[in-house]
Structure formats: structure tokens, C-alpha cells
């Protein structure tokens, strides 16, 4: 018996037994009574394992294509147990007792979590559900390569000419995008060789993994939480330069990641350095903004307990869409009733500047820690 053998429950409760298919359906109420309760409670179901209630969700959580998505509170070990699926009612439960379980303030109900993650939507959904949450994933942005790459080509010419002392990689995605552009003009081996004549710094684990894959030496890596402040601290602590270089941090090339790191550029300029930004992509709204619009409306309606943000640009795009919907102020007010989790300091700064509070930054700036720790304090 697997979740995929349980099909979507129909609106006509009298046909539930047929729709459930291989699953064993059991209810001690007549179909008319089930219909009555369905009208009172809406499209919810209760899940029973060995005749004990263990979870709840919306009936559309069952589908052959998506599997069981909503009641992640059901442990994996129960999957082989006898499954009894009853629409909206546990045998003998009254409308009032079912209402208490399904009410917004019920501790028995899974936390309703909205994430605005775009690139790793499936991973985020899985993390939320494994932590016992009810996941809504509303992509808030997409990365668009710059059509005009003259800045990258100028950077490449300067790099080959030995004009840079330090090259900083801010993101793994940006490093890969940069290489793709470079390879339209130069073999990657020559690009890597030119990098090795500079002091190479990475902001965090993702660009670290990319440069290791390239076989490029990394001289310094910013510690967690991997913000511009940690980068500046590394630079102020003294840099290591390859033999034969100028042995000075005079000219920096910085691979941007959608937005310019204005604070870092300003701090380096104040220290007498020259800064050359190297943008390779920009942030735009998703092609389909309907899920994002729906999430904003749901937040305003008080349908979320937790909001998760994994980048500073997410809140800018979310508020931009909220503005279009004439819901900016309503959305900001609604966030005050939610737990807000932020992936790290840069994201938190953007959230606070936008008027949101931040309840938690995880112990490590990774999605898994963000989900577990935010849902942990909320529970």
C-alpha cells in the first residue's frame, strides 16, 4: 500500500469508497451524515492509521501524480500500515470536535508555511513537510543572464592583462554564468590560469564548490554567515598573494549576484582600493506570478503561520507584487501575525528595511537549518 494508490477524494462523499481504490475505507457514519459534515467543515480529510487519528490535510493533497503532500506529520514508518481515509470525519467525531482540530489555533494542526524560494522549490517543500509543516511554495524571482556582456569581456581583458590583484566570487550560480560567457571568447584553461595569478576569495560554500570543481586555488573564504561584513573582515585581516604578483590589494574584481554589494564597494573604496563590479545576471519576477499573487492574498487572509525568506531580493519582489495588488500595507500587517524566518543577516536587513520583523536566523545559513529551527520555535 502506497500513498499513490490513494486518489483524490470526490465532492460526492457517497463515491469515496470507489475513489479511494486500493485503500481501505472505513467510516461508521452513513453517507448522508458524511455529506452533512463535509458541508460544515469544507474539503478536509482526516487520516487514520490502525483506527487512530494521526493527521489531517486538504483532500487535494492526494493525487497519483504528486503523491501525499499535505500531512507530513505522518511518519514514514506508517506507510506500510493499514490506511483508512475518511472524508472530513473520524468515526464518532462531532462537528465541534473536528472544528477544534481544524481551527487556525489548534496545536494538532500542522503549521502552515509559505516559502518564496524559487531555484530549489522541491527541496524546500520536502524540508517543510519532513518538519511537519503544510507547505506553500511561491516562487518570487528568476535569474536572467545579461544580454549585453561587454562588462564581462572588459573584465576578461583586464584579467588577462594582469590588472587585478583580487578576484571575489560571490555566488556559485554567478561563477558558472561568468564561465559560460568567458568561454565564448577564451578557453577555460586560460581563464583559470589568469585567475591563479590573483588572490582569489569566495563568499561562501557554493562558489567554493564551483571553484574546486574548476581546480582553481582558493586563497580565502568568508566565514558564516557569509555576508559582505565577513568578506571585509577577511580582507582587513591580511591577504595571501601568489608569487610574482604585486602583493597588494589595490584593484578588486567582484562577481555580482543580481544586486550590487554597495556596502562592500564603499568600504573597499574608503580603504583606498579600486573596485570593478562584474555583473552576470539580474533578478526578475517569475514568468508566472499567479502563485505569488495567491500566496500574498493567503497571507493577508491570515492563512499562514510561518513565512520563510532565503534572499534579500525575495521581499523586494513580494512587496512589488503586493503593491500591484494594492495589498502592500495589508501584507505587511499580516506578517506581524506570522513567524518570519530569514536565511541570514543580508536577508534580515532587507526584511527589516521593508518593515517586517525577523524572528529567527538559523545557526547556519542553509535551508535545512532555516526550516527546522523556525518551525521548531513556532511549535
Locate the domains of the chain by residue range.
3-102, 112-141+285-378, 144-283
The dihedral through the CA atoms of 67, 68, 74, 80 has a sign that is negative
pLDDT band at residue 279 using 50, 70 and 90 as cut-offs: confident
Pairing type for strands 52-58 and 44-49 reads: antiparallel
Q: Do domains 112-141+285-378 and 144-283 have the same CATH topology?
A: yes
Which pLDDT tens digit goes with each residue over 57-96?
333 233 222 333 223 223 323 332 223 333 332 233 233 3
The Cα 91–Cα 40 span in angstroms is 16
Residues 6+ apart with CB under 8 A from 14: 31, 34, 35
Which pLDDT tens digit goes with each residue over 82-135?
233 333 322 332 333 333 334 444 445 789 999 999 989 999 999 999 999 999
The Cα 167–Cα 114 span in angstroms is 37
SS3 labels along 126-167: HHHHHCCCEEEECCCCEEEECCCCHHHHHHHHHHHCCCCCEE
Cα 282 to chain center, whole Å?
18
Query: What is 112-141+285-378's CATH topology?
Result: Rossmann fold (3.40.50)
- The proportion of the chain whose per-residue pLDDT surpasses 90, expressed as a percent, equals 53
Which pLDDT tens digit goes with each residue over 345-375?
889 988 999 999 999 999 999 999 999 999 9
The dihedral through the CA atoms of 221, 226, 228, 233 has a sign that is negative
Cell 585581516 identifies what position? 237
- CATH classification (class only), 144-283: alpha beta
**Measuring CA to CA, how many Å separate 77 from each of 24, 72, 90, 169?**
18, 12, 21, 43
Count of other CB atoms within 10 angstroms of residue 144: 12
Model-level pTM? 0.56
Q: Where are the beta strands (DSSP E) in 64-146?
A: 83-87, 112-115, 134-137, 142-145
The per-residue DSSP string of 292-313 comes to HHHHHHHHHTT--SEEEE-SHH
pLDDT band at residue 143 using 50, 70 and 90 as cut-offs: confident
The Cα 103–Cα 224 span in angstroms is 40
The per-residue DSSP string of 206-236 comes to HHHHHHHHHT----EEPPTT--HHHHHHHHH
The dihedral through the CA atoms of 275, 279, 280, 285 has a sign that is positive
Amino acid at each position: 500500500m502506497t500513498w499513490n494508490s490513494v486518489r483524490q477524494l470526490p465532492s460526492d462523499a457517497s463515491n469515496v469508497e470507489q475513489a479511494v481504490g486500493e485503500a481501505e475505507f472505513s467510516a461508521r457514519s452513513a453517507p448522508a451524515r458524511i455529506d452533512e459534515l463535509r458541508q460544515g467543515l469544507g474539503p478536509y480529510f482526516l487520516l487514520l492509521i490502525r483506527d487512530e487519528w494521526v493527521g489531517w490535510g486538504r483532500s487535494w493533497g492526494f493525487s497519483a501524480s504528486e503523491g501525499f503532500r499535505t500531512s507530513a506529520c505522518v511518519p514514514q514508518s506508517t506507510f506500510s500500515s493499514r490506511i483508512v481515509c475518511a472524508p472530513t470525519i473520524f468515526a464518532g467525531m462531532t462537528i465541534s470536535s473536528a472544528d477544534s482540530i481544524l481551527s487556525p489555533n489548534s496545536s494538532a494542526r500542522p503549521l502552515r508555511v509559505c516559502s518564496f524560494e524559487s531555484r530549489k522549490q522541491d527541496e524546500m517543500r520536502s524540508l517543510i513537510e519532513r518538519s511537519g509543516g503544510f507547505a506553500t511554495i511561491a516562487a518570487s524571482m528568476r535569474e536572467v543572464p545579461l544580454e549585453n556582456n561587454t562588462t564581462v569581456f572588459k573584465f576578461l581583458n583586464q584579467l588577462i592583462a594582469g590588472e587585478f590583484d583580487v578576484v571575489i566570487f560571490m555566488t556559485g550560480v554567478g561563477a558558472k554564468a561568468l564561465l559560460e560567457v568567458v568561454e565564448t571568447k577564451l578557453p577555460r584553461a586560460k581563464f583559470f590560469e589568469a585567475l591563479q595569478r590573483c588572490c582569489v576569495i569566495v563568499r561562501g560554500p557554493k562558489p567554493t564548490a564551483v571553484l574546486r570543481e574548476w581546480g582553481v586555488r582558493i586563497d580565502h573564504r568568508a566565514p558564516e554567515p557569509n555576508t559582505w561584513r565577513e568578506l571585509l573582515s577577511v580582507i582587513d585581516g591580511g591577504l595571501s598573494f601568489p608569487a610574482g604578483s604585486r602583493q597588494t590589494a589595490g584593484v578588486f574584481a567582484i562577481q555580482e549576484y543580481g544586486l550590487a554589494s554597495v556596502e562592500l564597494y564603499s568600504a573597499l573604496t574608503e580603504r583606498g582600493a579600486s573596485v570593478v563590479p562584474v555583473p552576470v545576471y539580474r533578478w526578475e519576477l517569475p514568468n508566472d506570478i499567479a502563485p505569488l499573487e495567491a500566496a500574498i492574498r493567503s497571507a493577508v487572509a491570515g492563512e499562514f503561520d510561518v513565512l520563510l525568506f532565503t534572499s534579500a531580493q525575495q521581499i523586494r519582489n513580494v512587496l512589488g507584487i503586493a503593491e500591484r495588488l494594492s495589498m502592500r500595507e495589508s501584507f505587511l500587517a499580516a506578517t506581524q501575525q506570522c513567524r518570519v524566518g530569514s536565511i541570514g543577516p543580508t536577508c534580515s536587513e532587507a526584511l527589516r528595511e521593508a518593515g517586517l520583523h525577523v524572528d529567527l536566523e538559523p545557526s547556519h545559513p542553509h535551508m535545512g537549518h532555516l526550516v527546522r529551527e523556525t518551525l521548531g520555535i513556532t511549535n
